[in-house]
Amino acid sequence: MRNETIGLKIREHAIQRVPYQLVIGGREVANNTVAVRTRNGDDLGGMTLDAFIVHLTGDIAYRGRTILEE
Burial of residue 34 (CB within 10 Å: 0-12, 13-18, 19+) is buried
**Dihedral sign (CA 30, 31, 32, 38):** negative
pTM of the model: 0.67
pLDDT band at 69 (very low <50, low <70, confident <90, very high): low
User: pLDDT, tens digit, for every residue of 26-47?
Assistant: 999 999 999 998 888 788 999 9
DSSP designation for 21: E
Tell me the mean pLDDT in the region 11-38: 86
